[in-house]
Chain A
Amino acid sequence: MRIRSKALAATALALTAALTLSACSSSGGAQATETTAASAAAGSGGQTASTPRLTIAMITHETPGDTFWDKIRAGAEAAAAKDNVDLKYSNDPTAAGQATLIQNAIDSKVDAIATTLVTPDALAGPVAAAKAAGIPLVGFNSGIDQYADLGALMYFGSDENLAGTSAGERLAAAGVKHPLCVIQAEGSVALEARCAGVKKSAPGTENLQVNGADISSVTSTITAKLQQDPTIDAVVTLGAPIALAALQSKSEASSQAKVVTFDLNADVAKAIQDGTIEFSVDQQPYLQGYLAVDSLWLYKTNGNDIGGGKAVLTGPSFVDSTNIAAIAGFAANNTR
């Protein structure tokens, strides 16, 4: 095994090297993923377009440290590397903060803006200001119903309500009567819309509020609920880390409930392969970030408009036992 040295203090490096060499694991760890990551990078960053360098600002409502947004950024960065784009990413979970960041991008005279529109009413002002400044702007991830009214050129994302309804239909078809829909962030309109969608197709749905910032409390809350109400026959989670917590709760409460989730990560992909999670409703965040940047590049360099005046849907894309084999590798790379 070869250790790739970074420019660090030589002594520390020598020490770690010695330790690593003497304690090399024969399976798992970074060495197993290095090759796949390298091949993925070659696929995205091998060639760069010869178009003039553009600066694109991407603004999201990410609460720092969420794996879902890592994928959006990974997609955006892959497209930026390919399109000779300088990507400026910034985020603020509050509506007022996001509005200020859009203004910040306008001040910086960027060539184009991609922003999430999770609070459309609150962002109307800055989006209009971008338009007035002649900066093309696309929406992605959230704001599907309002993006056009606000004046965004295009939209890439999924329809939360539709995704919820589709998930509920699949559950109802499997004979589920009393699903539990777990909401991990207080006050998120998008998450509420998903659960409302599930309830539309599966009327017995009950919502449960948990604190997604503290995964151990998520586990104990779901466990308590499963113990208190044995008639719950499915747990619907709205994020990959929450799904894994729900699996733990299921075994702690010795419940027979099915677990289904929104969004993917490597562990959920593995659980779908193992059959412990029935299916995932994926909105393909990597694709949202990628298309948002790529569409702006096409618009600036070739005048293209994607979607024919309608939103471009990146989901719901169901991942289950039938297609997981192809997708698992990409999920492990943090691109799907």
Chain B
Amino acid sequence: MSSSLKTPPPSSTSATVTSASPKASLSLGARLMARPEIGALIAAVAIYAFFFIVAPPFRSIDAFATILYASSQVGIVAVAVGLLMIGGEFDLSAGVAFITAALTASIFSYQFSVNMWLGSAVALVLALGIGFVNGYLVVKTGIPSFLITLGTFFILQGANLGITKLVTGSVATQNVSDIDGFGSLKAIFDTKINLFGANFRITVLWWVLFVAIATWILARTRIGNWIFAVGGNAPSARAVGVPVNKVKIGLFMAVGFLAWFYGQHRLYGYNTIQAGEGVGQEFIYIIAAVVGGTLLTGGFGSAIGTAIGAFIFGMVSQGIVYAGWDPNWFKAFLGVMLLLAVAVNLYVKKLATTRRSV
């Protein structure tokens, strides 16, 4: 099994923040059942076993490396999107934002003939700026983030195409692999690491690292408590002195940061960027978080759950191909998976809460 599927030591979740019952009165089993990711974990094991049986190519270590890579491509940005959803907000612009970040770095360095490090730095500032603007508009206007980020989604989608076409004369960026700094950045964002005779992409490592950091923030820091509190009940959180606006803006900026990070992988891993890509990915991130046990209403979820959601997505998307099925059905499978996962999550959550009240 994957190393990223290890169950973490039981830690305080929102349940302990909100419920008055002392932790000691819960059995270990009940505490495990109350974890947001338990439903997704069961689903992931079942899906893995299923593809392992039906698709012989799926069993190889090479295939596992490919699946993990496909999962990390969703998982990296989904970490931040999951945190944001625990904090009670949405970001529909995350999909096109990573393309924006990649385009910015590429076009800036190419047009001004400057080192890629500078281009990537400019892209980082822009990505954080987009996150800040999203967050600032949400907290200042009171308009739901679903609508605010839908607006930024369209703005970025149009700007990606419009600016790229205007500057490069095409709808894809030029190949920048011969510009100074490309090699060193490629080493950071897109190296292959040989383990157990298979080539693992470095994004898998980064993904695991980001999941670990997010898990630590949620479980062990004051900021983590704030995120749960803000997502659970913002007015009460504000009343007890939680800086609600700062937390929300910070979460949007975290999405900006990871969108930038993944965008750089797309640039240094694939040399050119198609300006029209990224549309639709925002829902995949949300699906990963929801499958992983995050509540749409906020206040409940975990980074590990979101990671398992991304892993399920990677398994299904590649597993269907390994099994040699018609990929036209992929989206249908995804929909069924989503419904099952949500149903399981709800069931497990009910089970856990009724046990606790006994």
Given the contacts A187-B276, A188-B171, A189-B172, A122 and B270 also touching, CB distance less than 8 Å: yes
Size class of the contact patch on chain A = 20 to 34
Number of A-B contacts (CB under 8 A): 86
Q: Would you call A226 an interface residue if the criterion is a C-beta within 8 Å of the partner chain's C-beta atoms? A: no
17 contacts between A and B (CB under 8 A): A64-B327, A64-B328, A65-B328, A88-B324, A94-B274, A96-B266, A100-B70, A104-B321, A104-B322, A106-B62, A107-B60, A107-B63, A107-B322, A108-B322, A187-B164, A187-B276, A192-B171
B103 to A: closest C-beta gap in Å: 11
Number of B interface residues in the complex (CB < 8 A): 33
B134 within 8 A of A: no
- Which of A89, A105, A108, A124 sits near B271, CB closer than 8 Å? A124
State which residues 45-100 of B face A: CB under 8 Å. Answer: 57, 60, 62-63, 65-66, 69-70, 73
| Chain A positions within 8 Å of B62 at CB level | 106-107
Give the distance to chain A from B61, nearest Cβ to Cβ, in Å: 9
Q: Does B161 contact A (CB under 8 A)?
A: yes
Answer yes or no: A90 CB below 8 A from chain B CBs: yes
Task: Say yes or no: is A186 at the interface (Cβ < 8 Å to chain B).
Answer: yes
Q: Are A94 and B324 in contact (CB under 8 A)?
A: no
What CA separation (Å) do A93 and B60 show in the bound complex? 26
In this assembly, does B318 line the interface, its C-beta being within 8 Å of a C-beta of chain A?
yes
Residue contact A108 to B57, C-beta cutoff 8 Å:
yes
Does A101 contact B321, Cβ atoms closer than 8 Å? yes
CB nearest to A61 among chain B residues: B274
Known: A95-B277, A192-B171. A104 touches B327 (CB 8 A): no
Judge whether A255 is part of the interface by a CB distance below 8 angstroms.
no
A107 to B66, CA, bound (A): 8
Given that A64-B328, A187-B172 are contacting pairs, would A95 and B274 also be in contact in the complex, using a CB cutoff of 8 Å? Answer: yes
Asked if A119 is an interface residue, CB under 8 A from chain B, the answer is yes
20 additional A-B pairs beyond A65-B328, A107-B65, A192-B171, beta carbons within 8 Å, are: A88-B321, A89-B327, A96-B270, A99-B270, A100-B66, A100-B69, A103-B69, A104-B63, A104-B318, A107-B62, A119-B272, A119-B274, A124-B271, A125-B269, A186-B276, A187-B164, A187-B275, A189-B170, A189-B171, A189-B172
Chain A nearest CB, measured from B336 CB (Å) = 17
In the complex, the answer to whether B269 meets A96 with C-beta atoms within 8 Å is yes
Contacting residue for A108 out of B63, B326, B328, B331, CB 8 A: B63
Residues of B contacting A145 in the complex (Cβ-Cβ under 8 angstroms):
none
Q: A96-B73, A186-B161, A188-B171 are in contact. Are A104 and B276 (CB under 8 A)?
A: no
Name the residue in B266, B322, B327 with the highest tally of chain A Cβ atoms < 10 Å from its Cβ: B327
- Assess whether B274 is in contact with A121, with CB atoms less than 8 Å apart: no
Residues of A within 8 A of B (CB): 64-65, 86, 88-91, 93-96, 99-101, 103-109, 119, 121-122, 124-125, 185-189, 192
A213 CB → nearest B CB, Å:
10
Q: Which residues of B in the span 294-319 have a Cβ within 8 Å of any Cβ on A?
A: 318
Most chain B C-beta atoms within 10 Å of own C-beta, residue among A94, A99, A109, A124: A94
User: How long is the Cα–Cα vector from A220 to B271 in the complex, in angstroms?
Assistant: 37
Q: Let me know if B21 is at the binding interface, CB within 8 A.
A: no
Q: Which of B66, B161, B270, B272 contacts A103 (CB 8 A)?
A: B66
A90 touches B175 (CB 8 A): no
Please state if A104 and B275 are interface contacts (CB–CB under 8 Å): no
Q: Is the CB of B321 within 8 A of A90?
A: yes
- B252: min CB distance to chain A, Å: 24
Most buried by A among B62, B65, B274: B274
Q: Which of B273-287 contact A (CB under 8 A)?
A: 274-277
- Cross-interface CB contact of B277 among A90, A94, A104, cutoff 8 Å: A94
Complex: chain B residue closest to A93, CB-CB:
B277
**C-alpha spacing A189/B69, complex, angstroms:** 27
- Determine how close the nearest CB of chain A comes to the CB of B327; give it in whole angstroms: 5
Q: Looking at B271, B272, B321, B327, which has the most chain A CB atoms within 10 Å of its CB?
A: B321
For the complex, give the distance between the alpha carbons of A302 and B65 in Å.
34
A124 to B172, CA, bound (A): 16
Known: A89-B326, A95-B277, A192-B170. A64 touches B272 (CB 8 A): no
- From B55, which residue of chain A is reached at the shortest CB distance? A108
Minimum-distance CB pairs A-B, first 8: A187-B276, A122-B270, A108-B57, A187-B171, A107-B62, A121-B271, A121-B272, A107-B63
Q: Is the CB of A107 within 8 A of B274?
A: no
B356 → A minimal CB distance (Å): 42
How many angstroms from the CA of A38 to the CA of B69 in the assembled complex? 44
Give the chain A neighbours of B331 by CB distance below 8 A. Answer: 64
Residues of B within 8 A of A103 (CB): 66, 69
**CA–CA, A253 and B270, complex, Å:** 44
Point out the residues of chain B lying under 8 angstroms from A90, CB to CB: 321, 327
